[in-house]
A = this chain, B = another copy of it.
Amino acid sequence: MLPIRDALDVISGKWKVLILTSIMHGNRRFTEIQTSIPKINPKVLSKELKDMEEHQLIKRIVHDDHPVLIEYIATDYSRSLKKVMMELHSWGVNHRKQLLGK
């Protein structure tokens, strides 16, 4: 069961899926990502971005401008999570019905 734990470690928590979705939808700047996710704390966002970069889900690109421009993009590899996320999504939709239906 360790691979399941590995996978959960990467995507668990309150924010990672929301952050990844935001970046996949084209938000590239820190402030854009922050604005797109209600109530996220900048310190938390910063930590999560670092985590996700380590797991190769996103790439941090530093453009050598003045002032320096930093952008985040989703890696091709991050798209491998798509099926997992779709399964989780449909299970989550169903689970809400299940709990309310009883």
Contact = CB atoms under 8 A, between A and B. Distances in A.
A44 B91 CA distance: 25
A60 to B, nearest CB: 16
B17 A95 contact: no
Q: How many copies of the polypeptide does the oligomer hold?
A: 2
Contacts of A8: 8, 11-13, 17, 88, 92
A3 B87 contact: no
Contacts of A12: 8, 12-13
Nearest to A16: B8
B89 A77 contact: no
B88 A4 contact: yes
Given A12-B12, A56-B98, A87-B87, A5 B92 contact: yes
A29 to B, nearest CB: 20
Interface in A23-38: none
A17 B5 contact: yes
A72 B42 CA distance: 43
